[in-house]
Structure formats: structure tokens, C-alpha cells
Amino acid sequence: MRILFCGSDSFSIASLKALCKERANSPETIASIDVVCRPGKRVGRGLKKIQEVPIKAAATHLSLPIHEIDTFTGWKPPQSHGHPINLIVAVSFGLFIPPRILNSAKYGGLNVHPSLLPDFRGPAPLHHTLLAGETKTGVTLQTLDPREFDHGVILDQTPPPGFSIPDPDTCDVPRLLDLVSDKGAQMLVSGIRNRVFVPPLKSVGWYKPDNEAALRHAGKIKPEDRHINWSSWTAQEISRRQRVLGPLWNIAVTEAGSPGSGINGTKRIIFTKMALEESIPDVLDSIKLDPGVIFASDARTTAGELDRLLYVTTCDRKIFRIDEIKVQGQPSAPAYRAAKKGKLLDIQPISSPLPAKFFAGLV
């Protein structure tokens, strides 16, 4: 086989390394591998630094030919020792491979996807698998469809009900990625050895939903997915999103509007360090707080008033302790200190049941 491998990240690197190992052990199975990746992007202040896709360094280390493209328009696949590429493999590539390119390869294309297709089609299956609270998952080897992402013929797949996710209540994306990367690479090599891509193709997909509506789409993760909805997200949902997506955020209502206008300003608040409390503070036993109301503890720390702890209630009456926040325009800092500096504190009268409430208008 003369393979054109299209990839980008650590998930695809695992498959590329497995193919290179197979080529070394069985050159009659894989004669050559060319790598396609997207060009590096300018990042950082002034866009002076170029950030390369991780697979470029891996391909360089493996001494493989590299082709950097940002579009297939007008691009022609390379030849290997005067012979055309006869199989395309795309793993976590990101660009749609058009029919013209697929048709140029005798056996079309293969793709490794880290879910039990057709469930969790899309670019972020690992995130959505964990967000859904799944305890099992799998990998799929499919053909590259000439019309849509993740709609190819399923040539191999993890048997039902899938393999177990390690410690599903604490597992994060990097840990799950390590697991599926290895299993996906093994499935790809096995498929090439068994020549499952040679017609007539045999579909072996086991997952048969009753209807398309039962399928879950694994769309690209957006900033809004980290925006806490205090009125509907339970403590479990908040904890899960924090574990899977990283620090969550809200917009805080401040008193920074025009003087005398009565109009409040807003600032984005990122909860850089926040944890679920095991027990509810005594002060809340007889007080009903709306979800999203953040308050300060009466207790002073040894560091003084500015390092008092902040808390927030959820819609299912659980409590999160907020240790650290990043106020828009400021570096991350201890929560009470950062809130005071950002003019977010609304100190209540001493007679108030809650001594300090800050940005109660979280949206």
C-alpha cells in the first residue's frame, strides 16, 4: 500500500506511528507513507510566533515526506517512487477530503473515529462522551464518505457495549484520549492487514438506533459551552463541564456604569479554581438563595480579610467554594481579592444574614 496520511494531533500521531511500525515489520503490506497536514498558524502577541500542528514534528522524526496544505483546491496528491497513492487515511485531520482526491486513490479512504458511530458524529466526540456521563465508549474504522463527515461504511468497530471508561466520574479528555488513541491505532493496522477496504465493502456497525433523533452530535466545543447557566445546571453538570472543558465563566454585573446613570457595567469572570463543598455552611441552613448568588464567608483567613472565601449556590441547592477567579482585564487571583479589585463587591449591612454578596446578577 502507498498511503497518504492526513492528520494533526496526538490522536492521529498514534495511528501514524502504528502504520510506520507496520511498514517496518511488513514492507510488503505498506510500501510508503506520505503525510499531509495543515500549515502552522501565527499566534501570540503581534502574531510573531508560528505554531505548527503536532503531527509535523512526529512526521519529521519518522523521516516521512510532508505536504502542508490549507485547501485541496488545485492540489494534486504526490506519487511514491513513480506510483500513485492508492489509499488515503485521515485521522483527526479537520479538512474535508473531496471526491476528486478520494477517487484518485484506488481504494479510496479510511478514517478512525473515537466513538461508536453513528453516535457522537462530529469533531469533539471525546468531550461529548464525557459530558454525557457515559461509562463506556469505543472506536470505529470507517470509509471516508465523499459527501459528509462521519457517514462512511463502518468496516470495524469496538464490540457492544464498548470498553469501559476508566474512573468515569473523574476521567478527563487527556486520559480518555490516551486510551482511544492506542485502540484506534490498533484497529487501523488490523484493518489494513485484513484489507477491509477492498470491495465489496462489508459494514459491521453494530449500533442501530431506533431513529436518527436518538443520535447525539459531537459538535465543536464553543466558549458558550463553558458559560454557566445557574438556573438549570446542577452541581453535577457544573463539575462535569469544569472537568471536561476547563475553567467555566459568567458575566458579572458591576457598578462600573456612568456615574449617576443607574446603569451597571459588566465584566467576564473566569472561575479558575472552584470546587464543590461537601457540606452546606451553617449560615445557609435557614436562608434560601437564588442560584448564582455569590457570597463571602464571615470567617477571616490568617492572610486577612482580602483572602476570605467566596461561595455560590446551584439550582439543586449545592455549594461551590470559589478559591480563585480571573476578572476581565486582570490576572487570576484569590477570589475575594480579585472581586474587590474589580469593584464587584456589594457589601451588605451588618444586619444582613449574608455579610458580603458580590455580583448577584450573574448572567
Q: Where are the domains of the chain?
A: 2-214, 223-358
173 contacts 127 by C-beta, under 8 angstroms? yes
Among 5-14, 39-48, 53-62, 129-138, name the one with the lowest average pLDDT. Answer: 39-48
Fold of 2-214: Rossmann fold (3.40.50)
Average pLDDT for residues 198-222, to the nearest whole number?
85
Q: Check residue 360 and give its pLDDT.
A: 46
Assess whether pLDDT exceeds 50 at residue 258: no
d(Cα 154, Cα 352) in Å, to the nearest integer?
Answer: 63
The pTM assigned to this predicted structure is: 0.90
Per the model's pLDDT, the better-predicted residue between 254 and 190 turns out to be 190
End-to-end CA distance of the chain: 56
Domain 223-358 has CATH 3.10.25.10: yes
Burial 272-298 (b: 16+ CB within 10 A, else e): bebeeeeeebeebeeeebebbbbbbbe
Assess whether pLDDT exceeds 60 at residue 234: yes
Q: Check residue 261 and give its pLDDT.
A: 44
What pLDDT digit, counting tens, does each position of 261-318 carry?
A: 445 678 899 999 999 998 776 656 656 778 888 887 665 545 556 677 888 889 998 9
Q: In 10 A of CB 102, how many CB atoms?
A: 17
Q: Check residue 340 and give its pLDDT.
A: 84
